[in-house]
Chain A
Amino acid sequence: QKEVEQDPGPLSVPEGAIVSLNCTYSNSAFQYFMWYRQYSRKGPELLMYTYSSGNKEDGRFTAQVDKSSKYISLFIRDSQPSDSATYLCAMRPRVFGNEKLTFGTGTRLTIIP
Chain B
Amino acid sequence: EAGVAQSPRYKIIEKRQSVAFWCNPISGHATLYWYQQILGQGPKLLIQFQNNGVVDDSQLPKDRFSAERLKGVDSTLKIQPAKLEDSAVYLCASSLGDTSYEQYFGPGTRLTVT
A-to-B contact residues, CB < 8 Å: 4, 6, 8, 32, 34, 41-46, 49, 51, 88, 90, 92, 96-101, 103-106
**Nearest-Cβ distance from residue B55 to partner chain A, whole angstroms:** 6
Interface pair A8/B40, CB less than 8 Å apart: yes
Can you name 27 A-B pairs with beta carbons within 8 Å?
A: A6-B42, A34-B101, A41-B108, A42-B107, A43-B105, A43-B106, A44-B43, A44-B91, A45-B105, A46-B102, A46-B103, A49-B102, A88-B42, A88-B43, A90-B42, A96-B99, A97-B50, A97-B55, A98-B55, A100-B48, A101-B45, A101-B103, A103-B43, A103-B44, A105-B40, A105-B41, A105-B42
Known interface pairs A41-B110, A42-B108, A44-B43; 12 further A-B residue pairs with C-beta atoms within 8 A, sorted by A's residue number: A4-B42, A6-B42, A8-B40, A32-B101, A43-B106, A44-B105, A46-B104, A49-B101, A99-B48, A101-B103, A105-B41, A105-B42
**Nearest-Cβ distance from residue B37 to partner chain A, whole angstroms:** 9
Complexed CA–CA distance, A4 and B45 (Å) = 14
Contacts of B110 in A (CB 8 A): 41
B95 at the interface (CB under 8 A from A): yes
| Closest residue on chain A to residue B55 by CB atoms | A97
B14 at the interface (CB under 8 A from A): no
Complexed CA–CA distance, A41 and B39 (Å) = 11
Tally of contacts, chain A with chain B, CB under 8 A:
58
Complexed CA–CA distance, A51 and B55 (Å) = 23
Residues 67-95 of B at the A interface (beta carbon under 8 Å) = 91, 93, 95
Contact A43:B42 (CB < 8 A) given known A49-B102, A96-B99: no
Chain B interface category by residue count? 20 to 34
Contacts of A96 in B (CB 8 A): 99
B26 at the interface (CB under 8 A from A): no
Contacts of B102 in A (CB 8 A): 46, 49
Complexed CA–CA distance, A56 and B4 (Å) = 27
Contacts of A34 in B (CB 8 A): 101
